[in-house]
Structure 1
Amino acid sequence: MLLSVKSDQVRLSISQQIAEIVTFLLLSYVGFELELYINEDSEEDSSEDEAPGEMDFLRNLFSSALGLGSGTGEKVLDELTLDGVAKYMLSGKCEHSAGIPDFRSPGTGLYANLQKYNLPNPEAIFQIDYFKQHPEPFFALAKELYPGQFKPTICHYFMKLLKDKGLLKRCYTQNIDTLERVAGLEGNDLIEAHGTFYTSHCVSFCCRKEYSLDWMKEKIFADEIPKCEKCSSLVKPDIVFFGENLPVRFFTSMKMDFPRCDLLIVMGTSLQVQPFASLVSKVSRNCPRLLINMEKTGQADPMLGMLGFGGGMDFDSDKAYRDVAQISTCDDGCLALADLLGWKPVLYGLMSEMGTRESDSDSYHKDSRLDSDSSPKDSRLDLDSWSETREHYESLAHLLHTLF
């Protein structure tokens, strides 16, 4: 899967229109070890290993944008449906509602609690400069929205199942709620583009002492502003605030992962915001791509392709040969795919083993046919309806992803 198809669920509720959830999953060939492409003992220059994937991406970009070549790729799926994806996964060619509130809605307790801080704007809570001067609003919000209050859903456990079966190469996510980790994924399985609450660090450049999730939780629920035990500076969770760069690991890993992706699964995202939007075009031309979302997104745009942002996905044209759109919530899509793969009993067992909420059991055991009116609640929000501009996206995306 495209590094982990891991995204979160998508809902149409007001709160879900606040946060962008993106998750990519990569499936590797059966038996394909991570060491084959990241070998610490190898003395070869990594640039040699990256070159084929980078050159393939550039060739595909120009041939697609300029209309060169045949224009139609070799058919890689028996049929462009979820069933076709399931058959592909079983063929041997692939080897891997949480109740989040909307604090920006007037009338909610969170909104009222934040009003007393006289914020210049809601996004100020997540601006690094404002945080360093006025950390109180952020930690007040963090107490109300602490990750421990929410539980993984079907989507998260499906990713864990892919990992257990040796199919998950990586999960790229913009979520910061640590639910992927709660579901059983480990640090090496994840690229947390917007950071995580799993660890925290002292903000002092000269110190940078690390603190655990439990340490931060204790401070937050004691209504204390976390201060470094070594130098007394402020301690901040390792989430990416406005004004901070994405983790270096995001950029270094994608160069290695995507050229070696055998199946890319994208869940719960509009595919309109960079740098995630262009990731779908970094896999090879023979890599099938599955989108699980409430609507078709990320379709090819000739102009954007000319500018280097990738050619996008093609679900419906006469030239379509590898892209599949599953129109549903992410939970429903994962459940349907698990059913087609014959994995549903194992998925249920995994959720039970990992301590899934008893109240969700009916949702997990419902008929696998997708029904938007009866779909379980998702733990993610959709940010694109707020703004299509990069600035507003970054603002609201982080903002929402800080909404656990």
Structure 2
Amino acid sequence: MTSTDKQSTDLKTIAARIKSGSITRIVALTGAGISTAAGIPDFRSPTSGLYAKLAPLRLPYPEAIFTISYFTHTPEPFYALARARHPGNLKPTLSHAFLALLAKKGLLQFCFTQNIDGLECDAGVPSEKTLWCHGNWKNQHCHKCHAEYPDELMKKAVRDGEVPYCLDEGCKGAVKPDVVFFGQPLPAEYEEKEKLVADADLMLVMGTSLKVAPVSQLPRKVREGVPRILINRERSGDLGNRPDDVCILGACDDGVKELAEELGWTEELEEFWKTVVEAKEDDPALEGGPSLDECIQKIAGHMNEKSKISNGHKRMLEDHLSSKFANLLGPKRG
């Protein structure tokens, strides 16, 4: 159940300003929380988040699976999870539909998203009003030579849980979807688009812990006196510290329903969402398959076997070198 962290009149006031036309430039910032209802777990929830579920893999640290330096030598864990996290057959949530409805009404100035699932686009948010700050699954390239890789071969790799490699025999680097990993720069247009935050007359922050810079700093760039609405399971960043902040704590879809009700858009939003969900066709190549937990258990077993082989090989080398070193020293002298 969602609950407003301040008096409901604060939300009513903002809704009244939107309805009266005094708020017309809304900038949104979204994170994993708006996609959990679509079946994609968030990252940091203590037991249900992706990072918690990765424990069986014994990674050096949970974020390693999305770190470019780790991916370059160990891409297997990422692709073991790729099928379970690929957005091919996922439907936009009510929160995605709300963003698209804002755009349809001419109220959405811009949307910054930290998500890589592209569900904002599937819901109808125009691409020119969206910046996928951390990239998305729409395209893929070799991480070494940056050559493009065919969509159909990528789908096959995701379906089979196998690592796709560059088709250039002289390269053979692992192919990576155009997702921004830790250690890689944000899209070049980020610096230009972040200037739009200062022009906003309302900022809507949804489903993000605001833990990853520089995107986490966007809400701080909102002018003093401009309202900020946080829809999230818990407070994040400095949201709630300003007099004009409103925090709606709980699941994102529930918070969106609360806001839509204040706006008088409840029925319109539900109908619009229904249309959006029906419009997205499933990709047969990605239907079915193992669950996220099954994918993790499978790759954990594979990595443990690989580790045993590596440790055995290491011991064999150590024994061999010890023997060779002893021979070099010659027989012991009394």
TM-score, length of structure 1 as denominator length: 0.56
Aligned equivalents of 1:336, 1:106: Cα separation in 2: 27
Aligned equivalents of 2:252, 2:20: Cα separation in 1: 24
Determine which structure has greater relative contact order: mean sequence separation of CA pairs < 8 Å that are 6+ residues apart, divided by chain length: 1
Worse-matched range after superposition: 270-279 or 240-249: 270-279
Name the SS of the counterpart of 1:285 in structure 2.
coil
Residues 197 and 213 in structure 1, CA contact (< 8 A), matched pair in contact too = no
Check if 1:324 corresponds to 2:324: no
TM-score, length of structure 2 as denominator length: 0.66
Name the SS of the counterpart of 1:227 in structure 2.
coil
**1:350 paired residue number:** 272
Check if 1:338 corresponds to 2:260: yes
**2:296 paired residue number:** none
Amino acid at match of 2:228: R
**1:221 paired residue number:** 159
Change (3 A) 1:106 1:158: closer
Amino acid at match of 1:245: P
Q: 1:120 Cα shift?
A: 4.3
Amino acid at match of 1:87: A
Residues 198 and 212 in structure 1, CA contact (< 8 A), matched pair in contact too = no
Any unmatched runs of 5+ in structure 2?
A: 3-7, 27-36, 280-334
Q: Deviations over 1:169-214 (max 9, x none)?
A: 1111211222222222243222222221222122234xx2334665
Amino acid at match of 1:348: E
Residues 240 and 247 in structure 2, CA contact (< 8 A), matched pair in contact too = no
Check if 1:164 corresponds to 2:93: no
**1:92 paired residue number:** 21
Change (3 A) 1:101 1:288: closer
Aligned equivalents of 2:92, 2:237: Cα separation in 1: 26
Superposition map of 1:120-269 within 5 A = 120-205=60-145, 208-211=146-149, 215-230=153-168, 232-255=172-195, 257-269=196-208
Aligned equivalents of 2:247, 2:74: Cα separation in 1: 44
Superposition map of 1:285-300 within 5 A = 285-299=224-238
Residues 68 and 181 in structure 2, CA contact (< 8 A), matched pair in contact too = yes
Name the SS of the counterpart of 1:347 in structure 2.
helix
Aligned equivalents of 1:252, 1:107: Cα separation in 2: 36
Aligned equivalents of 1:290, 1:106: Cα separation in 2: 27
Q: 1:223 Cα shift?
A: 4.1
Change (3 A) 1:164 1:102: closer
Change (3 A) 1:126 1:285: closer
Q: Deviations over 1:137-180 (max 9, x none)?
A: 21111123222243221111100111111111111121122222
Residues 114 and 137 in structure 1, CA contact (< 8 A), matched pair in contact too = no
Number of aligned positions between the proteins: 258
Worse-matched range after superposition: 193-202 or 84-93: 193-202
Q: 1:236 Cα shift?
A: 0.4
Residues 176 and 196 in structure 1, CA contact (< 8 A), matched pair in contact too = yes
Q: Deviations over 1:109-129 (max 9, x none)?
A: x999995x7744443322212
Aligned equivalents of 2:230, 2:43: Cα separation in 1: 29
Superposition map of 1:299-310 within 5 A = 299=238
Name the SS of the counterpart of 2:224 in structure 1.
coil
Aligned equivalents of 2:66, 2:265: Cα separation in 1: 40
Structure 1 or 2, whichever has the larger Rg, is: 2
Any unmatched runs of 5+ in structure 1?
A: 1-9, 11-78, 300-311, 358-404
Amino acid at match of 1:94: I
Residues 92 and 277 in structure 2, CA contact (< 8 A), matched pair in contact too = no
Amino acid at match of 1:86: A
Percent of residue pairs identical = 41
Aligned equivalents of 1:107, 1:193: Cα separation in 2: 24
Q: CA RMSD in A?
A: 3.4
Aligned equivalents of 2:86, 2:182: Cα separation in 1: 20
Change (3 A) 1:347 1:214: farther
